[in-house]
Amino acid sequence: MMELKKEYSEHEENGDKVTRTTYYDPETKTHVEEVKIERIKEEVEKES
């Protein structure tokens, strides 16, 4: 089985953490992209 090339990047966008992982399969010449968005902003301010 061929080894998949894996590319990983992480950045912040509008207070969210965006993790982007791209897999490249050289055998079939296809890219599979996996994007995960996590909310960073925690609700700190609460109305009392």
Q: Each residue of 10-32: pLDDT tens digit?
A: 999 888 999 999 999 888 999 99
Q: How far apart are CA 46 and CA 33, in angstroms?
A: 37
How far, in Å, CA of 45 to CA of 19, rounded? 26
Domain boundaries, the chain: 5-39
User: Which of 24, 44, 45, 46 minimizes the C-alpha distance to 34?
Assistant: 24
- pLDDT band at residue 46, thresholds of 50, 70 and 90? low
Rg from Cα positions in the chain: 17
Under the banding of pLDDT at 50, 70 and 90, the label for residue 38 is very high
The pTM for the full model equals 0.57
Helix (H, G, I), strand (E, B) or coil at 47: coil
Band (pLDDT 50/70/90 cuts) for residue 48 is low
pLDDT at 4: 77
